[in-house]
Structures are given as structure tokens and as C-alpha cells.
Structure 1
Amino acid sequence: MTHISAVAPRRRRPRQDPDSVRATMMDTARRMVAEDQLLAAGLEGLGMEEVIVRADVPRGSVYRIWPYRKDFVHDLLIHLATPDWFRSGSLDRQTLRATGQVLLENYDLISANRSAAERLSVAHEALRVGTETNFEFMRTDESWRMYTVLTATVRSIPDPHTRHSVSAALEQAEWTLTSTLAHFYAQLAEVAGLRLTDPARGYSGLATAGAAVLEGLSLRYQFAVRAADPARVPARERPWEGAGAAELEARTPGPPFRGQPRAWSLAAWSFRAVFDSYLECVPVPDFHPKPIATLVNLLDTLAPPHFE
């Protein structure tokens, strides 16, 4: 009598929600692009099958969303062009929190019986701390670095449709950043008793100029620390190597705050130059302080969790 052994049927993987598959694939591909620095090479080294394996999602579900690799690359580039802080309508929350914390901790200097110079000193200290935090974010955040690379290489994208879509996404991201910064500066200026030196220039000008300064310095730092090849040229023959990074990492004495010395970075000094050209203190007779709850509510809206 012949015995036929029972073969267990292959268990089919349950179908995942398309939105979940899309999000997992985008996040996985973003990490792979960052790890292997594939963006500058036009994503040529990014295999769709490898992303599927790394993401651990059903292959069929992926190809129902993106029948062809070019469709996947198109969506991935759009994803990289709209980092999380732009998609959320906010900017680096750590920067907002750091800036706001300085104002909250020194709110006693922003009152009717305080001088304009004291108010300005609080604003400068908040600027110093906020700039340091934001510059560190731009130096170290991988999504930000990929965003800047994509901005520089978007015109080299071969497919016209993808190139146009990515350019539009980058333009919208820049508009979101500038608008959010301008709103933040306007609200903070009102709380701190500051005003525009020339109302015609607007807070969007301050946002644009300030962002350009910090982004430019961030790119110079990245170039300075990555461009040299120690294996190719002996250190003694590379006197330039690290010079730019060293200047950006250095701290120089600045004006004291509440009697305590403060060290300023090149990024902070540079942003202060822009800040001082756009803003001035409201004269004491015209300044009407806001209750501290106004600042708390502003920061709670722009950068949760609550400041207390």
C-alpha cells in the first residue's frame, strides 16, 4: 500500500494595507540611500527587490503600488524632497524648544520696567542658543543632508516628469520652511519687544536670509570634513584640511549674559548680523509686555510638548 505524505500548504502572507506598505518602503529606501550615499549617483545602486527584502513587505503589494521601478524612484525622490519637518508644517523642534526655553527662563528681563538693552540681551542669548542647536541639526541630520544633495542635483534627474515633480516638491518645501520661520520670528519679536527696522522688508526676508546663511555654513562644514582623502595625501602636505571645519567649530568670547561669559560660534555670529540688520528694540514707552502665557501658548503650538 502506497502512503502519500501530507505536504503542508504554503502559508500566504496576509495582505498589508497599501498605505502601510508605501510608508515602510519609503522609510526603508530612505535609510538605504543614506547608508550607501546613493542619492548623488542618481539612485542607480538602489535595487527595488533589495528594498522589498529589507522592508519585509509582500512583493505583490509593492508591485501593485509601483508596477515599474521608475514609478518607485519617482515617489522616493518626492519623499526625500519633503522631509518630516516640512511634512508636519514645522521646522526643527529642538531649535524652537531651545530658543523658547531661553525666553521663558529670562522672562523677567522682558517687562515694562526693563530697558531696551536688557530685552535685546535676552533676544541675543536666545538667538545664540537657537542657532547652535539648529546648526548642529543641519550638521548631523541625515534627512537634511539628503535634502540638500537633492536640491543641488535635481536638474540632473533624467526623466522630465520626475524632474518637474521633484522641483515642485522642493519649491513647496522651501516655501513651507520660510513661511514657518517668518511666522515664528514675527511672534517671538512681538513677545520680546522687537520690531522690524524697515517694515517693507518683512519677516520673510529675515527668514530667507537667515536660512541661507546657516545652510551655506552647514554645506561648507560638510565639505570641509568629507572632501579630503588622508590616504591620498600626507597630512603635512594638507595644511588646508579641516581649516574650514575648525573655524565653524571654534567658539569666541561674546557679550556676557546676566553677568556670565558666553562663547559664540561663527554660525551664531553670522546669524546675529542678519538678525540685527532686520530687528531693533521697541522703545520703552511704546512697549507693552505680553503675559508669559502668550509665549507658552506660542511654543506649545509650534513645538510640542508643553513648556512649563
Structure 2
Amino acid sequence: MNPPGLLRQGALRDFEAMHASTRWRTYIALHATFLSLADGDLRHEVQGALAAAERDLNDRIARSYQRLAALLGLRLRSDLHLTFDELATQLSATMRGFVLTAPACPDLIERQLRPGAFGSAGEAEWSRPALGITATALSFLEPDPAVEWDEERLARVRRMLEE
């Protein structure tokens, strides 16, 4: 299994989907608009709605990475004493930064060959968003020593990835 390669591919797909999404642009615009609202009922109402949306998004990202980590034989680094919710917050903020920056910096999404990135074998094309998301995820995750990579597990993981 190649966790960096799988994270790279997933991060690039997520970035491309968010970058192309009018819903995401609207969501980001709502956040920017919120910053300019005067204190009062409307600001508190918008803040509550944004907070609920953020919790929902963060929960979905956390569950997704928890499943992905288990699939790839990874766990949260024990020395950091954190949760998948905290990892999701970091990943979401990192991705959002790339999505916000991309329109002004179109070369941000260009891919470059990076031989052996994150200890992977061979060369792979990495965009900066994929590199940043993978670096963030791998800084919080480590191989789970309780996971045995036998033929049965490898076959199960391959089947799940194909689905």
C-alpha cells in the first residue's frame, strides 16, 4: 500500500471539486460577508448557521479520514494527543487556503514531478494542494503497529479502493 499516493490522489480530487464548485465559492463568500456584519441579531444568526455548517463539514471530514486511516493501516500519532476532529480542522483549513488562493495564482494547481515524495517509490505528479494536504495528514498520522499486512488484508484493501 502507498498511503502518500492515495492521499495525493484524494487531495487532488477534493481540491479540483472544491475549486470548480459554485457552492463552495458561495460558502466562502458567506464567510467573508459574515466578517463585515455589524454586531447584532443578524450577525449572531449567520454565525450560528455557519458554525452548524462547519461542525457538519468537520464531522464528515473526520469520519472520512478515520475510515481512510483504518483502511491504510494508520492511526493518529499518540504523542500529539489529538482526535480526528482536530485533524479534520487542520485539513479543512489547509484545503480552504488553497481554494481561496487558486483564482489569483493559477499556477498553484500545476503538477510537478516529485521523485520519492514522502518515501514513496518512483516519481509522481504532485500539485501544491495535494502536497500540502498529504503533508498535513501525514504529520498527524503514523503506521499502526497493530495492523498486519497479510495477503488477506491487502486483497480487502484493494477491493475497497476499487469500489
Runs of 4+ in 1 over 2 A off after TM superposition: 155-163, 254-261, 288-293
CA distance in 2, matches of 1:258, 1:201: 26
CA distance in 2, matches of 1:211, 1:129: 16
Q: Residue in 1 aligned with 2:147?
A: 287
- Aligned residue among 94, 102, 123 for 1:221: 102
Q: Is 1:180 aligned to residue 42 of structure 2?
A: no
1:99-134: CA deviations, max 9, x gaps? Answer: xxxxxxxxxxxxxxxxxxxx3x2x211111111111
1:258, distance to aligned residue in structure 2 (A): 9.0
Q: Is the partner of 2:102 in helix, strand or coil?
A: helix
1:196, distance to aligned residue in structure 2 (A): 1.2
- Aligned residue among 132, 135, 140 for 1:273: 135
**Cα RMSD after superposing both structures:** 2.7
1:55-78: CA deviations, max 9, x gaps? Answer: xxxxxxxxxxxxxxxxxxxxxxxx
Q: Residue in 2 aligned with 1:49?
A: none
Q: TM-score normalized by structure 1?
A: 0.45
Q: Residue in 1 aligned with 2:26?
A: 146
Q: Is 1:251 aligned to residue 124 of structure 2?
A: no
**Counterpart residue identity of residue 176, structure 1:** D
Larger radius of gyration: 1
CA distance in 1, matches of 2:81, 2:137: 16
**Counterpart residue identity of residue 147, structure 2:** F
1:155, distance to aligned residue in structure 2 (A): 3.7
**Counterpart residue identity of residue 156, structure 2:** I
Trace 1:1-308 onto structure 2 (pairs within 5 A): 119=1, 121=2, 123-157=3-37, 160-198=40-78, 200-222=81-103, 224=104, 244-246=105-107, 248-254=108-114, 255=116, 261-283=123-145, 286-288=146-148, 292=156, 296=160, 308=163
CA distance in 2, matches of 1:287, 1:158: 52
More helix by share: 2
1:163, distance to aligned residue in structure 2 (A): 2.3
CA distance in 1, matches of 2:100, 2:88: 18
Which range moves more in the overlay, 202-211 or 254-263?
Answer: 254-263
CA distance in 2, matches of 1:197, 1:157: 40
CA distance in 1, matches of 2:8, 2:120: 14
**Counterpart residue identity of residue 213, structure 1:** T
1:157, distance to aligned residue in structure 2 (A): 3.7
**Which of 1 and 2 has higher RCO (CA within 8 Å, sep 6+)?**
2
Cα 1:160–1:138, aligned 2, differ >3 Å: closer, same or farther?
A: same
Q: Is the partner of 1:264 in helix, strand or coil?
A: strand
CA distance in 2, matches of 1:218, 1:288: 37
CA distance in 1, matches of 2:57, 2:74: 22
Identity of aligned residues (%): 32
Structure 1 residues without counterparts, runs of 5 or longer:
1-118, 225-243, 300-306
Q: Between Structure 1 and Structure 2, how many residues are aligned?
A: 155
Q: TM-score normalized by structure 2?
A: 0.82
